[in-house]
């Protein structure tokens, strides 16, 4: 549920239009102090309507500790990244990533999310250590592109016939020109192979990547893959898995049972891209999902003397490979009808939205959410369904139904806050449909229900700035609790308004705080570069552009 109670109430007039002018230093000090209250006190809320969502998911994480279905509240928390302070998300994720009682697959998802947050904050060394502990592979060789579109998945090209043996001198007939194997460690960023950083064209085609890992003993294991399109996997010449699917890349979307032999093991992946970013995430675990951090060898250096024979088509035997998708689907199959079944379907739908393991055209996430709603309508399921709607009308219908459920509980503060956020979302849909009068009325309704509904306040401020009413717009955001300025959308809109009002010191102070929390955010860095140029600070402008 949405909501929160007051903190630092002396700095505002609820629902009013008072304009509080702060110097650069006092603005930054006040905001840092307010952020400190958010991150160190469980008893004082930030007056952010999304705080109650976070707390409910934290309660679920505690209740589901050690179980794979804890992936669902973790997915919801990850989806709150634009609605909460980064420190709030980071603290929540730490609880899962550093708890030895966590399910290993959930722990891995939390660790990957935490690594991204650490990178965002500029803690690159710690983020790298987190990813290394996941067993992500980082020393590939790549060759391609080959073939045309999704059809290339079924077409056999020379590298797969050769078992992924890397000979840098060997030339192949590629999609548009001759291609050869190339070392790709430099194209690995944050544990992810950026295939589109190496190959052209980088859509409607396919390529191959190979890694060589060492193992001190023969053992059962799993290779876990995140891919944007169809893939095939061979280990030591054995085809161990494939899937014809189009999606966005995420950690551990698929897993294949493998048998590592003692010594060097060659992992070959064929990856197909239709459109969008072409990225691969590959790691080795045991079959339960615990990471195996194995040494990597140079695939070209270990190619000599390798003989490719006709292997069996699949690796068989041993313990089954666990995946979160399969475990959550099995829970749905076993769940009784009624509330328990509705919750299992909601958990599955929320995980599928986040991890996207299935084909995007199949819309399995929407199907799970619709089935959950059919068993037990809930605001949470309807909001999730709105997020995966195919068009604005479908999204509007889901939000209107959610608003009806929330309005029934509007006598409580929690219900009013929830209803306000839904009205703010309906306003965004109306704006997308060019129903501007309806949009403005929705946002005003939201603020009448909850004066701290910042999504509605920001939306109205954007409209007011466009109409040339920058001072009115700035006043609207300044009466929100100071801590909310650490929310990216609130902070950046206030920066733009203060710049329009020539309050550059205030704008610079807030930009500095936003950048300290989000060092990898290119828009913030670019904005800082623009501000530095306006101050005739050439060195500062260049440094900010380099960050961007």
What confidence score (pLDDT) does residue 454 get?
Answer: 98
User: Phi/psi zone of residue 265: left (φ > 0), alpha (ψ -120 to 50 degrees), beta?
Assistant: beta
What are the strands, taking DSSP E only, across 134-278?
141-146, 172-173, 178-179, 182-183, 188-189, 192-194, 205-215, 219-226, 231-235, 238-243, 254-260, 263-273
Q: Are 179 and 235 in contact (CB under 8 A)?
A: no
Q: What pLDDT is recorded for position 317?
A: 67
- The region that residue 292 occupies, defined by phi over 0 for left and psi between -120 and 50 for alpha, beta otherwise, is beta
The residue that leads in pLDDT, 537 or 264, is 264
Q: Decide if pLDDT at 32 tops 60.
A: no
| Cα–Cα distance for residue pair 496/336, rounded to 1 Å | 52
The whole-angstrom separation of Cα 227 and Cα 246 is 8
Partner residues linked to 193 by β-bridges = 188, 280
Q: In angstroms, rounded to a whole number, what is the distance separating the alpha carbons of residues 238 and 233?
A: 8
Find the length of the chain: 548
The four Cα atoms 131, 133, 134, 136 give a dihedral, to 10 degrees, of: 70
Give the pLDDT of residue 20: 32
- Mean pLDDT, residues 293-321: 69
Residue 119's pLDDT band, with cuts at 50, 70 and 90, is very high
415-425 pLDDT, tens digit each: 889 999 999 99
Q: Which two tokens stand for residue 44?
A: 């004082």
Condensed to tens digits (0 to 9), the pLDDT of residues 34-49 reads 333 333 333 333 489 9
Query: What is the pLDDT at residue 303?
Result: 63
Q: What digits encode the pLDDT tens for the residues 344-388?
A: 999 999 999 999 999 999 999 999 999 999 999 999 999 999 999
**Mean local confidence (pLDDT), 489-496:** 96
Residue that the structure tokens 């160190």 belong to:
40
Does the pLDDT at position 33 exceed 90? no
> DSSP characters for 77-113?
HHTTTTTS-HHHHHHHHHHHHT-TTS-HHHHHHHHHH
| Residue 464 pLDDT level (bands cut at 50, 70, 90) | very high
* Position 111 confidence tier, pLDDT thresholds 50, 70, 90: very high
Has residue 9 got a pLDDT over 50? no
Q: pLDDT value at position 471?
A: 97
- Give the whole-angstrom CA distance, residue 163 versus residue 166: 9
Confidence class of residue 528 from pLDDT cuts 50, 70 and 90?
Answer: confident
Q: What is the mean pLDDT of the chain?
A: 89
Predicted local distance difference test score (pLDDT) of residue 106: 98
Residues 6+ apart with CB under 8 A from 401: 377, 382
What sign for the dihedral angle of Cα 182, 183, 186, 189?
Answer: positive
- Beta-carbon contacts of 172 under 8 Å, excluding residues fewer than 6 positions away, are 143, 146, 157, 158, 159, 178, 179, 180
- Whether 14 shows a pLDDT value over 70: the answer reads no
Strand pairing category for 182-183 and 238-243: unpaired
Q: What is the pLDDT of residues 435-460, one digit of tens each?
A: 999 999 999 999 999 999 999 999 99
Pairing type for strands 238-243 and 231-235 reads antiparallel
How sure is the predictor about 536, in pLDDT bands with cuts at 50, 70 and 90? Answer: confident
**Per-residue pLDDT tens over the stretch 148-165:** 999 999 999 999 999 899
The predicted model gives 495-512 an average pLDDT of 95
**Predicted local distance difference test score (pLDDT) of residue 411:** 66
């Amino acid at each position: 549920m949405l909501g929160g109670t007051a903190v630092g109430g002396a700095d505002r007039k609820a629902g009013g239009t008072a304009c509080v002018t702060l110097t650069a230093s006092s603005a930054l000090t006040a905001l840092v102090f307010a952020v400190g209250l958010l991150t160190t006190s469980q008893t004082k809320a930030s007056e952010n309507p999304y705080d109650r969502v976070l707390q409910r998911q934290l309660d679920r994480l505690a209740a589901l500790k050690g179980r794979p279905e804890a992936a669902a509240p973790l997915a919801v928390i990850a989806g709150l990244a634009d609605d909460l302070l980064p420190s709030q998300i980071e603290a929540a994720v730490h609880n899962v990533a550093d708890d030895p009682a966590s399910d290993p697959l959930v722990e891995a998802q939390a660790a990957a999310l935490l690594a991204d947050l650490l990178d965002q904050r500029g803690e690159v060394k710690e983020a790298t250590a987190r990813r290394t502990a996941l067993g992500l592979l980082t020393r590939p060789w790549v060759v391609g592109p080959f073939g045309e579109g999704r059809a290339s998945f079924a077409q056999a090209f020379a590298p797969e016939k050769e078992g992924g043996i890397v000979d840098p001198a060997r030339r192949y007939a590629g999609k548009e020109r001759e291609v050869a194997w190339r070392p790709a460690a430099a194209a690995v960023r944050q544990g992810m192979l950026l295939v589109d950083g190496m190959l052209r064209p980088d859509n409607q085609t396919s390529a191959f990547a190979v890694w060589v890992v060492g193992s001190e003993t023969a053992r059962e294991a799993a290779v876990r893959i995140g891919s944007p399109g169809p893939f095939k996997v061979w280990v030591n010449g054995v085809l161990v898995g494939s899937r014809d699917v189009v999606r966005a890349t995420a950690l551990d979307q698929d897993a294949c049972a493998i048998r590592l032999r003692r010594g060097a093991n060659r992992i070959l992946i064929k990856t197909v891209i239709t459109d969008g970013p072409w990225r691969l995430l590959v790691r080795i675990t045991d079959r339960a999902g615990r990471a195996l951090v194995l040494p990597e060898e140079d695939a070209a250096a270990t190619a000599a003397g390798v003989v490719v024979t006709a292997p069996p088509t699949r690796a068989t035997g041993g313990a089954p490979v666990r995946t979160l998708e399969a475990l959550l689907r099995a829970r749905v199959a076993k769940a009784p009808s009624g509330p328990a079944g509705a919750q299992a379907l909601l958990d599955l739908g929320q995980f599928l939205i986040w991890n996207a393991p299935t084909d995007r055209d199949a819309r399995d996430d929407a199907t799970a959410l619709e089935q959950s709603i059919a068993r037990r309508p809930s605001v949470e399921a309807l909001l999730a369904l709105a997020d995966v709607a195919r068009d604005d009308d479908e999204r509007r219908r889901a939000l209107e139904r959610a608003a009806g459920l929330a309005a029934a509980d509007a006598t409580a503060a929690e219900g009013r806050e929830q209803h306000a956020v839904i009205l703010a979302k309906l306003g965004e849909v109306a704006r997308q449909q060019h129903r501007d009068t309806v949009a403005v009325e929705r946002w005003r309704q939201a603020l009448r229900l909850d004066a701290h509904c910042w999504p509605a306040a920001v939306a109205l401020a954007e409209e007011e700035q466009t109409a040339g009413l920058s001072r009115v717009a700035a006043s609207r955001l300044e009466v929100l609790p100071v801590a909310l300025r650490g929310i990216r959308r609130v902070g950046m809109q206030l920066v733009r308004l203060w710049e329009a009002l020539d309050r550059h010191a205030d704008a610079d102070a807030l930009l500095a705080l936003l950048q300290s929390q989000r060092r990898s955010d290119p828009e913030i860095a670019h904005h800082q570069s623009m501000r530095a140029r306006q101050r005739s600070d050439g060195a500062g402008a260049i440094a900010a552009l380099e960050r961007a």
